Amino acid sequence: MKALLKLAIAVLLLVCLADLPYGFYEIVRFAACAAFAYLSYDYFKQRRDFWGIVFAALALLFQPFFKISLGRTLWNAVDIIVALALFYLIIRAIGKRK
């Protein structure tokens, strides 16, 4: 379930690289904030504090209420880096299952 959530958010973040209506980006911010808050809670519950802190910071960065104005170029870089990190976590989790 967590892998599917990470995959969905990673794909949404990569779709944000396209020129889409502003409403789409708002929806992604809400979804990403909620997903990162849940993942933060889950990692803290597993006593994996590093990733808990990372996801808590991402939830704050993507929260839609007090927008952080980074500019389109920097937001695109953040989207790519976060998507790659999520893909890394998915692949690492799959590798541990085998």
Tell me the three state secondary structure of residue 71. coil
Q: What is the pLDDT of residues 4-60, one digit of tens each?
A: 889 999 999 999 998 888 888 899 999 999 999 999 999 999 888 898 999 999 999
pTM: predicted TM-score of the whole model, two decimal places: 0.85
* 8 A C-beta contact, residue 63 and residue 40: no
pLDDT at 72: 82
78 CB-near residues (< 8 Å, 6+ apart): 61, 70
The band of 83, judged by pLDDT with boundaries at 50, 70 and 90, is very high
Distances in Å between the alpha carbon of 95 and those of 52, 58, 61, 81, 90?
21, 25, 29, 21, 9
> pLDDT band at 95, cuts 50/70/90?
confident
- Of 55, 47, 53, 57, the C-alpha closest to 2 is 55
Residue-range domain boundaries for the chain: 2-97
